[in-house]
Amino acid sequence: MADLATDIQYIKGVGEARAKGMAKLGIQTLRDLVSFFPRAYEDRTVIKPISLAVPDETVCIRAMAAAAPRLSHIRKGLDLVKVRVVDEGGAMDITFFNQSFVKDAIKPGEVYVFYGKVAGTARRPEMTNPVFERETTRNVTGRIMPVYRLTAGLSQNILAGAARQGLEACGEALPDYLPEAVREGYKLAQARYAYENIHFPLSFEALEIARRRLIFEELFIISAAMGVIRKIRTVKPGRGLKDADMDVFYAALPFTLTGAQKRSIEQAVSDMKRPTPMNRLVQGDVGSGKTVVAAACCWFTWKSGCQSAFMAPTEILAEQHYRSLSALLEPLGIQVGLLTGSMTPKQKKTVQGQLRLGELDVIIGTHALLSEGVEFFDLALVVTDEQHRFGVGQRSALTAKGDSPHVLVMSATPIPRTLALIIYGDLDVSVIDELPPGRQKVETYTAGEKLRQRTYNFMRKLVGEGRQVYVVCPMVEESETADADLKSAQEYAARLQQEIFPDLRVALVHGRMKPKEKERVMSAFAAGQTDILVATTVIEVGVDVPNAALMVVENADRFGLSQLHQLRGRVGRGEHQSYCILFEGAGGEVSRERLKIMCSTNDGFKISEEDLKLRGPGDFFGSRQHGLPEMHIASLAADMDVLTTAQAAASEVLKADPALSRPANKAMKERIDTLFELRANTLN
């Protein structure tokens, strides 16, 4: 019985060379080996008589070698072994390319099972390069076989063999992190059974039982880990704010809140009344109206005589929030200020002084809020917008400026709820799943080069009607192609202005501009002084110009779906019917399929779920940022219902044994501790 930390090169049948290849797949220890789950399975259970084998079907046949195999050298590098096999009702010719060992491996008169794809005709069936073994062994035929992810130098057989040896080597050491009571309570298989059957399922039912158990375990442990973090957090005392009649605030709004907005506000307010710091995520699709939720919280904080800080990721957004929040809050008697990096030292000093003395109630700003000179009179609420752009560290740098202030995080990235629950597992979540009334669907089309002239005509038509247009070019700031991307955006903007639309007003905004310059271009666009704005992705988040009714995206295949959805959210914000045209670029068939999802729905949650399925959680917005432990088996898109159950189970256990000190929970606790180590490493 081997320790799970054993290096795999000491596992029978692995050795140094194969261990190197397996390391590329992330397999280093015995634990990694048995947790390296197949990505798919091959059903080799069906054994058919030759007479019933249909061309193109992949099956097993059980047949006797009718004669000795014949080996022929066709030319250098090409050997053929041919053998005729027969069963009661038929005969089949089998060919092996470059597997000359078969000549001696197959003996006339012996019975074998061959697994492969049937070719030829129904009357003269053939098979090429089948898997085969003696009828008596049944290692690789007559059963369900695992299909693993591979890398150079490894084959399915090698990995399957290693997995088999690994399981054997583990013996009783196979970890069962689930407390017995949970396992029984939720009718889950034992670890041993689950590991055996995830690699070598006895049947598809057994595979399902194994999968369910392992998915549950993975999500259970992560949920419990998040529960532990939450516990640590709530131990810290915060400050309960005074109750206030929210109707007073609601009555001052220029519109009626949606039910989802009201619910989110009420959840946040009830958090803030408690003497533990709020830690809430407000998640809502673009245009769902998150800003007013933040405004309500600022108002509530002000009613207790305290200050709020609202941090946005860019100057453009900070200024926009400043405009909308001061319009909303100043009439109610609240002093709202702005602090950004591009303000003059003198302006900054003035604002800092007002903050320190409590003359400002609400401060909106960028990272500039984190700088040393910023001190508060009495900071009780921190709001961050577009959370994924801020590191965890930045959020806490701002909260450190108050005495355990309440925290409200707003995210427009419509993360599937599964992912949100895990990434923000230490946050409570409010979801705004309803758009304000009267929003129109943004009509979305994909287009190839053939439609370019028509698109230009359409742009001209809309501008003629008084609307404005965005043209977005991809540019990934930190990539190798960034310089070339920028150049092509510049050239494109120049061409649009000089050749296509000499009579219209075209402007360019990109991420390398000075903040001042950027702001100048953006506010000119917002003021309607520009007809067509060519932009790199700086306009991605939050920008609000209701008169813009068309967005054209160049090389749309270079964007993620969620990113496209964010971009598209820049139009359709006013009363005008709006459109989005996605130029396909050179992405080919797959990306065309992908882009079609954009045409079929405007629902950000659906889109991000598709995105997640296509790209996996690691890519979703960079695994470094969300600091998630790698998931071996659970699919965040598909295993939502298991997550809910696993979470309930985890919180039951934590409720009964908050420190996880009972012997029954020992294995679980150890597993969580390892996860914390992983998390600590990935978050830095």
Is there binding between residue 414 and ligand ADP (CB under 6 A)? Answer: no
Q: Which of residues 160-189 bind ligand ADP (CB under 6 A)?
A: none
Interacting residue ranges for Mg ion, rule: CB under 5 A: 542
Q: CB of residue 294 vs ligand ADP: minimum separation in angstroms?
A: 8
Is there binding between residue 287 and ligand ADP (CB under 6 A)? Answer: yes
Residue 321 vs 671, nearer CB to Mg ion:
321
Q: CB of residue 292 vs ligand ADP: minimum separation in angstroms?
A: 5
Q: CB of residue 321 vs Mg ion: minimum separation in angstroms?
A: 8
Whether 204 contacts 45, CB under 8 Å:
no
Residue 261 vs 497, nearer CB to ligand ADP:
261
Q: Which does 292 bind (CB under 5 to 8 A by kind): Mg ion, ligand ADP, none?
A: ligand ADP
Q: CB of residue 574 vs ligand ADP: minimum separation in angstroms?
A: 8
Residue with CB nearest Mg ion?
542
Residues 6 or more apart from 506 whose CB is under 8 A from it? 493, 496, 497, 530, 531, 532, 533, 534
Number of residues binding to ligand ADP, judged by CB under 6 A: 16
Count Cβ neighbours within 10 Å for each residue of 620-658 and write b for 16 or more, e otherwise.
bbeeebbbbbebebbebbebbebbeebbebbeebbeeee
Nearest to 14 by CA among 1, 23, 5: 23
The helix (H) or strand (E) run that includes residue 535 is: strand 532-535
**Six token digits for residue 657:** 């044994």
Residue 94 vs 293, nearer CB to ligand ADP:
293
Q: Report the amino acid identity of residue 161.
A: G
Beta strands in 111-215 (DSSP E): 111-120, 125-128, 131-134, 144-147
Whether 416 contacts 637, CB under 8 Å:
yes
Whether 471 contacts 535, CB under 8 Å:
yes
Among the listed residues 166, 284, 405, 414, the single contact to ligand ADP using CB under 6 A: 284
Q: How far apart are CA 394 and CA 314, in angstroms?
A: 14
**Six token digits for residue 307:** 């200050």
The helix (H) or strand (E) run that includes residue 683 is: helix 666-683
Whole-number Cα distances in Å, 66 to 48, 124, 138: 18, 15, 21
Whole-number Cα distances in Å, 358 to 93, 153, 334, 370: 90, 67, 11, 17
Among the listed residues 49, 341, 436, 528, the single contact to ligand ADP using CB under 6 A: 436
Q: Which does 204 bind (CB under 5 to 8 A by kind): ligand ADP, Mg ion, none?
A: none
Residues 6 or more apart from 204 whose CB is under 8 A from it? 43, 144
For residue 279, how far is the Cα from the chain centroid?
22
What residues pair up with 277 in beta bridges, in sequence order?
A: none
Residue 542 vs 604, nearer CB to Mg ion:
542
Q: CB of residue 542 vs Mg ion: minimum separation in angstroms?
A: 4
Is there binding between residue 286 and ligand ADP (CB under 6 A)? Answer: yes
Q: Select the span of 47-55, 286-294, 332-340, 665-673 touching ligand ADP (CB under 6 A).
A: 286-294
Q: CB of residue 313 vs ligand ADP: minimum separation in angstroms?
A: 13
Q: Which does 436 bind (CB under 5 to 8 A by kind): Mg ion, ligand ADP, none?
A: ligand ADP
Whether 229 contacts 170, CB under 8 Å:
no
Whether 289 contacts 432, CB under 8 Å:
yes
Q: CB of residue 435 vs Mg ion: minimum separation in angstroms?
A: 13
Q: Which does 289 bind (CB under 5 to 8 A by kind): Mg ion, ligand ADP, none?
A: ligand ADP
Q: Which of residues 511-550 bind ligand ADP (CB under 6 A)?
A: 544
Q: CB of residue 332 vs ligand ADP: minimum separation in angstroms?
A: 16
Is there binding between residue 238 and ligand ADP (CB under 6 A)? Answer: no
Q: CB of residue 188 vs ligand ADP: minimum separation in angstroms?
A: 40
Among the listed residues 15, 255, 441, 599, the single contact to ligand ADP using CB under 6 A: 255
Q: Which of residues 64-123 bind ligand ADP (CB under 6 A)?
A: none
Q: How far apart are CA 635 and CA 650, in angstroms?
A: 19
Residue 179 vs 542, nearer CB to Mg ion:
542
Residue 36 vs 249, nearer CB to ligand ADP:
249
Q: How far apart are CA 605 and CA 285, in angstroms?
A: 8
Q: CB of residue 625 vs ligand ADP: minimum separation in angstroms?
A: 20
Q: Which does 434 bind (CB under 5 to 8 A by kind): Mg ion, ligand ADP, none?
A: none
Q: CB of residue 562 vs ligand ADP: minimum separation in angstroms?
A: 14
The helix (H) or strand (E) run that includes residue 490 is: helix 482-495
Q: How far apart are CA 549 and CA 504, in angstroms?
A: 16
Among the listed residues 6, 141, 223, 258, the single contact to ligand ADP using CB under 6 A: 258
Sites of contact with ligand ADP (CB under 6 A): 255-258, 261, 284, 286-292, 412, 436, 544
